[in-house]
Structure 1
Amino acid sequence: MDLGDAELNERISAGLTAVENLLEVELAKGEDFLVDKVMHLTTAGGKRFRPMMALLASQYGPDAGSANVIKAAASLEIVHLATLYHDDVMDEADLRRGVDSANARWGNAVAILAGDILFAHASRLMSELDTATVAHFAETFQDLVTGQMRETIGPRGGDPIEHYLKVINEKTGVLIAASGRLGALHGGASDEHIDALYRLGSAIGMIFQIVDDIIDIYSDHSESGKTPGTDLREGVFTLPVLHALAEEGEVGDELRALLTGPLTSDGDVDRALELLGRSTGREKALADVQRYLAEAETQIARLPEGTATDALRRLANYTMERVG
């Protein structure tokens, strides 16, 4: 996306190219039968959002875009890729980034092992930085696994909305938060700015995931390119759905009767989408987005004004444009 300043766009673009080059070099290490597996999703593309966040965060120190920043950014992208391999096994997904998922192509065992070797690559790169980076990665990895486990076991009688917010923070927010922290750290930013960028990354991660939830239910297929109700077909009840299920009245009652698991018929999906359109699910999910946007603004206010701060503000506000 356009970051609002030509010079900053050029710097971040150069940094992303350096990250891409490092990914190619790092992931080519090892036996041939490993390399083609770990490169599978890397070459399929992706937004490289986490490296971009790390590169932006590095702009607050004297070592912006340095070799260590590039290593940190590449490590974060490798960790993200590893989680995709494992997520696809958990979700029994057939496609990822427009290509066959690793588990669909080679089976679950190979997909899990490919994810594991990606974690090994990330750990090796981080070990070339410092122990603080390795320690933070250990905490982040623990959060990622906790989030996946939390999602698997369910709310266990607790508030399903609170449970879901914890899950998406642990599965999505923490890695974008780590991008803010490690980019700022290796860019040489102050402790105050490192903390602000860490918290900002967490808020942005939550915003992006909730917006994706809203798009899945309420988007126009011709505009979003996504088929509405994909999560419903998989039995995944995201934030707007959970808000609607908690609603009193006829709409909530029928949704609770209908959404007892994955929806297998087009008719049921269409009916669920119609009911969700009549519910307050979208409105309440957007209110949650606004809450995290307010948190993002609070953290942005801790940063010095400049092109990088303008870009981060633009990044956070861009989410509302995606909702439409």
Structure 2
Amino acid sequence: MTVVGPLGLSVWDEALEAFIQNGLAAVEEGLLEATKSDVPFITEAARHLLQAGGKRFRPLLVMLGAQFGDPYAPRVVPAAVVVELTHLATLYHDDVMDEADVRRGVPSANARWANSVAVLTGDFLFSRASHILADLGPEAVRVQAESFERLVTGQIMETIGPRDGRDAIDHYLEVIAGKTSSLMSVSGRFGAMMSGADQSVVSILAQFGERIGTAFQLADDVLDIASDRHESGKTPGTDLREGIPTLPVLHVRRWYMQAAGSVSATDRRLNQLLDGDLTDDALHAEALELLRGHPALEQARRDTVRYADEARAALAPLPETPAKHALAGLCDAVVHRTA
């Protein structure tokens, strides 16, 4: 067994291991080429987050999806570059909207330069992704356009918040489906499409990507509270400090509302903290400690497991191949991050 790729994916097949490693290396070369500009500053800005690291989870989904057709088809690697460029572009824009100071353990582009530079760099990356996409055919362009619409819709929904008394957790899961799951779905879909796999396989991998994308984000939500080390370039409690309502926090609020008159002093204090300013180090540390001991955190873990199990179940019709087992292993890896 060899561990490769993001999340410590365990691969038991030597040929698949070699393909993944070589494929991801080719994607990295493609990303460097796609972020190169005749203007040195643009190259520096475009590669800022690229060179800071990242899991390359989306390219991995493309590589594994391609195993169900011809994995060496010429459009596979470019498709993986497209999805990662798109993801990178969204990070630049997200950091501006969230006023983030750090991304992947380095100063965010907006903190290092300015909001305008960060936004324009994100636009530059989108344009490079579109340039590559144009050579992948009209169907690929349509799929990417639909995904991008979902992505932007999710961002808008997050910005305006739930409306008309809608349940906050249902709203949040729909936001995740747009912002995260949509591009994960495209990644699995592109891998199968570009390799010439059957349409049934394309649909299965799109469904898998959708579900594993939600599990992936929910795992990040849990880690923001539960982790005692740096994860994804973020210090534990980063979202909490910035007032971003992740799943554990939303479960606490629901718990508090449903408890009505039987609210404990601890729950009352936690909700008071969550409603306040957590940029203060002492208050932030207190809220983080209370959240780690709250049943809401375990509920968020169960939600993560549920979506990972749904992703695994979506794979059932696929033939028993090393690629299928590796995809199932991703479900285990995502859940393991929250343990």
1:113 to 120, 136, 144: 120
* Farther-moved stretch of structure 1 (101-110 vs 242-251): 242-251
> Which residue of 141, 148, 173 corresponds with 1:134?
141
Q: Cα distance 1:261–1:159, how it changes in 2: closer, same or farther (>3 A)?
A: farther
CA distance in 1, matches of 2:178, 2:227: 26
Q: Output the amino acid matched with 1:297.
A: R
SS where residue 47 of structure 2 aligns?
Answer: helix
| Equivalent-residue separation in structure 2 for 1:277 and 1:72 (angstroms) | 40
Counterpart CA distance in 1 for 2:129 and 2:216 is 24
Which residue in 1 is equivalent to 2:205? 197
Hey, what does 2:7 align to over in structure 1? none
Shift of 1:261: 4.5
Q: Which amino acid aligns with 1:3?
A: V
State the Cα distance separating 1:267 from its structure 2 match: 2.4
- Give the counterpart of 1:104 among 105, 111, 132: 111
Aligned residue number for residue 322 of structure 1: 337
Unaligned runs of 5+ in 2: 5-9
Aligned amino acid, residue 96 of structure 1:
R
Identify if the C-alpha distance between structure 1 residues 289 and 118 changes in structure 2 by more than 3 Å, giving closer, same or farther: same
Name the residue aligned to 1:299.
314
Matches of 1:120 and 1:53 in 2, distance apart?
22
In the other structure, the counterpart of 1:49 is 57
Structure 1 residues 261 and 118: CA distance shift in structure 2, 3 A: farther
Offset of 1:301 from its aligned partner?
Answer: 0.3
Q: Work out which of the residue numbers 220, 223, 233 in structure 2 matches 1:215.
A: 223
Task: After TM superposition, list the pairs within 5 Å mapping 1:232-311 onto structure 2.
Answer: 232-247=240-255, 248=259, 249-250=263-264, 251-311=266-326
Which residues in structure 2 correspond to 1:131-170 (within 5 Å)? Answer: 131-156=138-163, 157-170=165-178
Partners of 2:300 and 2:67 in 1: CA distance: 32
The one-letter code of the counterpart of 1:275 is: L
Identity among equivalent pairs (%): 48
TM-score, length basis structure 2: 0.90
Shift of 1:75: 0.5
* Structure 1 residue 30 displacement after superposition: 4.3
Q: What 5-or-longer segments of structure 1 have no aligned partner?
A: none
CA RMSD of aligned residues (A): 1.8
SS of alignment partner, residue 220 of structure 2: helix
Distance 1:310 1:23 in 2: 28
Write the distance in 1 (CA, Å) between the matches of 2:42 and 2:311.
40
Secondary structure of the corresponding residue to residue 53 of structure 2: coil
Once the 2 structures are TM-superposed, how far is the Cα of residue 224 of structure 1 from its aligned partner? Answer: 9.3
The answer to whether the 8 A contact 2:104-2:234 is kept is no
1-structure distance, mates of 2:48, 2:282: 36
**Measured at CA, do residues 246 and 219 of structure 1 come closer, stay the same or move farther in structure 2, by a change above 3 Å?**
same
Question: Aligned to 1:41, what secondary structure does the other structure show?
Answer: coil
**Code of the aligned partner of 2:228:** D
Q: What secondary structure, in the 3-state scheme, does the structure 2 residue paired with 1:40 have?
A: coil
Question: Matched residues in 2 for 1:24 and 1:223: separation?
Answer: 24
CA distance in 2, matches of 1:150, 1:222: 28
* Contact preservation (8 Å) 2:308, 2:334: no
